[in-house]
Every structure is written in structure tokens, then in C-alpha cells.
Amino acid sequence: MKWLVVLLILAAVIAYVIYRYRKHLQTAWFMYRTFRQMRKRTQAARQKQVPERDTSQATELTPCPKCGKWTAKEDGVKLKGDYFCSLTCLEETMAEKAG
């Protein structure tokens, strides 16, 4: 019986506090929901902006004949079976062969 009275008093105190600070609690709940929605929207926007690369196929790397830098075949500049890292290396190699 003693515990029942203590629980009733505790429930009454909690109810009074909730009633007294209901506007503050409503504002806090509204802010929580708003920030949660903002976080979901920004995460969705970030996921849309980042393009996903196909990792199922391995990228083949080749060394540049001029400078030795390793580049992916799809990113390199091809000339007669050689893959150059940039147009600058390609032009320098062509100038050396011509001159």
C-alpha cells in the first residue's frame, strides 16, 4: 500500500511537470522532428550527387611510356597501342620522334 501511494504521488508530480512545461516540450519535439527531416533530406541529396562507379569490373592500369605514371586505360590517351597519361606526354613523345 505504501508503494502505491508513492507511485501515485510520483505520477502526479510528473503529470504536473508535463502540464507546466507542455509548450517547451512541444517546441522541443517539433525541433527534433524538423532536424530529423533535414538530416534525411541532406543525406538523400548527397547520395544523388555522388556517382557510383561500377566495381564489378577491374580497371586495367598501364604505365605512361613518357613519364612512367600509371593510369587507367579508359582515362589514358591512346596512340598506336600505347596509353599516355596526358596529351602533354603524347605531344612530347611525338616531338622527340619527329626531331
Report the pLDDT value the prediction gives residue 14, as an integer from 0 to 100.
Answer: 96
Helix (H, G, I), strand (E, B) or coil at 30: helix
- CB neighbours (10 Å) of residue 76? 21
Structural domain spans, the chain = 2-49, 61-98
Full-prediction pTM beyond 0.75?
Answer: no
Across the strands, what pairs with 77?
Answer: 84
Q: What is the pLDDT of residues 24-75, one digit of tens each?
A: 999 999 999 999 999 998 887 777 765 666 655 678 889 999 899 999 888 8
